[in-house]
Structure 1
Amino acid sequence: MDKGALAEAIGSPSAAFGQSQFAFMRGNAFEAKVKGDGGAELLRLLHERMGAGAEPPRDASSPDLAAAGPEGRAARTSLALREATAAGAWALLDHPMLALEVAGSPAYLEPDAVVVHPDGRWTVVEIKSFPMIDAAADPSKVGAAARQSAVYVLALERVAALVEGAAVDHSVLLVCPKDFSNLPTASVIDVRKQLSVTRRQLTRLARIEEIADALPPGTTFDLDGQSGAALATAVEAVPAVYAPECLAACELAFHCRRRARQQDAVAALGRSLRGELGSLTTIGEVLSAARGESGDPVDPTVAAVRRAAALRAEALAGPPGTNVCAPRTPTGTGTGTDPDSPSTDAGPTAARADGAAARTEAGLPCR
């Protein structure tokens, strides 16, 4: 479904995410440079990093992958891979289309390039516009590229299983700008760990038909002829666990965030915090456990929350007989409020006193 249009139909702003226009244009320009001249530079980098023992690529073929719709493009890609493997020569597939079943529904993937080696190996090539400085790139960005490439490798394995003599590399070629220039350089990334994680996650996903069977009869997300209230009811029927990371990946993130806040869900504060709080799933339960009103004291989570509350109360109380809301006065100066005491800087001190008094009256802790 078009989740952006669905978000607007139920009266919630659609969460915008993705690359900026400038980053998108820069990435496209760098990719065109890497693939220019029939992909000569890309194949040179591939042979330099992963082609030990093989002849340097010359006159690599670049099959036409155009077809109608994603299904047609995926079928055309499978045919091109089969023909290139049978030919026993270098081949460069520019933006092939791959299909992968996710939770019982086909997902169509488009890697930047796939190279077929003369020995039948298939290698995924991922082109990114972030730089490699001194042959090293940002680890978080490299990790994201490895996870993305692992999905492509997994989809390629489904095709290779049907092609005699084909094998998919579990190492991918990452091409990035070198240092602060626009010259391409490359690094080889082993994605076996990411592959195992992806396989495990795919097997644990709830299938589409299982989710559909749990919905009320007649539930539909068709935007034609449906009122905003009916669509909102349909969305509410699907369980969702919001996390701040959803803002970077889902158009319905603002709607789910509002629902999570209404439900007082701890998950709205982040997955890591949700994991640490265990059975305490709402903010009200956390505060109640911290005050000693509920929760099993033997539970390590409850004990940790109560300990944190005690430390906070101790920090706010300060030393016995003192008022932590009283403004601090530098040694040798007055407070600025006593006419008998000299003051060299009454303005800031008075402002601190007014601020502390205002926070005390409002019932807020002092800072």
Structure 2
Amino acid sequence: MSTTHDLRERLAELRGPAVRPRPLDARALAALAANPGCRRRALLDAAGIDKGAVARVLGDPAPFGQSQFAFVRGHAFEARVKADGCAELIRLLGGTPEDGRVLVPELSAAGPAGRVARTRLALEEATAARSWTLLDHPMLALEVASSPAYLEPDAVAVRPDGSWTVVEIKSFPILDGSADSVKVGAAARQAAVYVLALERLAAQAGTARVSHDVLLVCPKDFSNFPTAELVDVRKQLSVTRRQLARLTRIEEIAATLPDGTTFDLRYADDGSTPTRPAPEMLAAVEAVPAAYAPECLAACELAFHCRDRARACGAVESLGRGTRGELGSLTTVEQVLAAALGTAGDPADPAVDALRRAARLRAAAVGEV
């Protein structure tokens, strides 16, 4: 499995020969970057497998995705931000076009590949023009596991100095100058994927510079009035690069699977109803190690299944990455409790010593000693 062709064939076998792959998008790549140690998600996403359908077959569907209300509100806010020829958006970027207008090129084309080519041409023309230009929903491409992932940022701004800036428009509010750190972090990881795709495009063009400061546009307080903050995504960009490099070696993960492993959902004639027996799918899923953390609940369709399995075996990962990091060599809740009670564990281990001190303090607090 040393060639790109061999890898594609292997991923097709895992997915099912008659199943079309689900394309990777920026949200999926950002979620991978948020949990780079999860081999299960890396393999299933690289193979284009519908994780939501897999979760339904396993009996652990996740209420994953955006509500209709949030979807409508988000679109209304984006339209407000881009009204009047995107003049408000350019103001948020700190610009004041001298001629009073912003160039917004037409980016429509046939198919994703055609839109990528049209976006590339528009960026080159805007860079050469040295005027404020706003690309509304451009299409970018990024090679992931030997296949193109098509990405669609909310906007890309080209400044008069020729630099490119990614614009992310979100409907969560900035209250009193600050926003939910979890949501901002997710937006930054998603934007970093766009920045990476732009960097590779700029390297080919050789005439542009991509800003590592992404413009995050959100409603101000409880109004529909837009406000913005520049978010430095260099850290998220570094993580994304490492994770994508890992994905290019996805064949190493696939090579560890037992012969005959497949995630084929075996759709019925209607094309939407999986018929794969749950025990067969469970065996396939469990053949790939996962790295569950509570943060997965907001980013992965298989999170409920992985959480149940982590709890069933008493894995401390179900308590969070921070707790897992503090416990060192103690990998199960049973080991943690035994160490705290003094019935197991090396007293010289800092984690064991801290647990025993905590147990003594608790006993004193509740009057058990």
Band the TM-score falls in, shorter-chain normalisation? 0.7 to 0.9
Please state if 1:6 is matched with 2:49.
no
Shift of 1:80: 2.7
- In the other structure, the counterpart of 1:60 is 103
- In the other structure, the counterpart of 2:132 is 90
1:15 maps to which of 58, 62, 65: 62
Gaps of 5+ in 1: 320-367
Normalising to structure 2: TM-score of the pair? 0.76
User: 2 CA distance for matches of 1:179 and 1:241?
Assistant: 36
List per-residue Cα deviations over 1:93-134 (Å, max 9, x = no partner). Answer: 111222334566543322110112343211111112233455
- For residue 205 of structure 2, give the secondary structure of its aligned residue in structure 1: coil
Shift of 1:268: 1.1
Structure 2 CA distance for partners of 1:285 and 1:140, relative to 1, 3 Å? closer
List per-residue Cα deviations over 1:278-315 (Å, max 9, x = no partner). Answer: 11001111122223232111111111122222233333
Structure 2 CA distance for partners of 1:255 and 1:206, relative to 1, 3 Å? farther
In the TM superposition, what are the counterparts of 1:72-221 in structure 2 within 5 Å? 72-102=114-144, 106-133=148-175, 135-203=177-245, 207-221=249-263
- Quick check: which has more Rg, 1 or 2? 1
User: 1 CA distance for matches of 2:181 and 2:312?
Assistant: 37
User: 1 CA distance for matches of 2:311 and 2:100?
Assistant: 57
User: 1 CA distance for matches of 2:147 and 2:283?
Assistant: 24
Shift of 1:274: 1.0
- For residue 6 of structure 1, give the secondary structure of its aligned residue in structure 2: helix
Please state if 1:248 is matched with 2:298.
yes
Shift of 1:154: 1.6
- In the other structure, the counterpart of 1:266 is 316
User: 2 CA distance for matches of 1:213 and 1:181?
Assistant: 53
Confirm or deny: 8 A CA contact 1:215 1:237 kept in the other structure: yes
Q: Relative contact order (alpha carbons < 8 A, sep ≥ 6): 1 or 2 greater?
A: 2
User: 2 CA distance for matches of 1:16 and 1:96?
Assistant: 29
Confirm or deny: 8 A CA contact 1:43 1:57 kept in the other structure: no
What is the one-letter code of the residue matched to 1:211? I
What is the one-letter code of the residue matched to 1:7? A
Structure 2 CA distance for partners of 1:121 and 1:55, relative to 1, 3 Å? farther
Please state if 1:315 is matched with 2:365.
yes
Structure 2 CA distance for partners of 1:181 and 1:154, relative to 1, 3 Å? same
Please state if 1:42 is matched with 2:84.
no
User: 2 CA distance for matches of 1:268 and 1:201?
Assistant: 22
Confirm or deny: 8 A CA contact 2:85 2:101 kept in the other structure: no
Confirm or deny: 8 A CA contact 2:86 2:102 kept in the other structure: no
What is the one-letter code of the residue matched to 2:110? A
Gaps of 5+ in 2: 1-48, 267-274
Structure 2 CA distance for partners of 1:84 and 1:250, relative to 1, 3 Å? same
- For residue 161 of structure 1, give the secondary structure of its aligned residue in structure 2: helix
What is the one-letter code of the residue matched to 2:327? L
Structure 2 CA distance for partners of 1:101 and 1:38, relative to 1, 3 Å? same
Structure 2 CA distance for partners of 1:188 and 1:247, relative to 1, 3 Å? closer
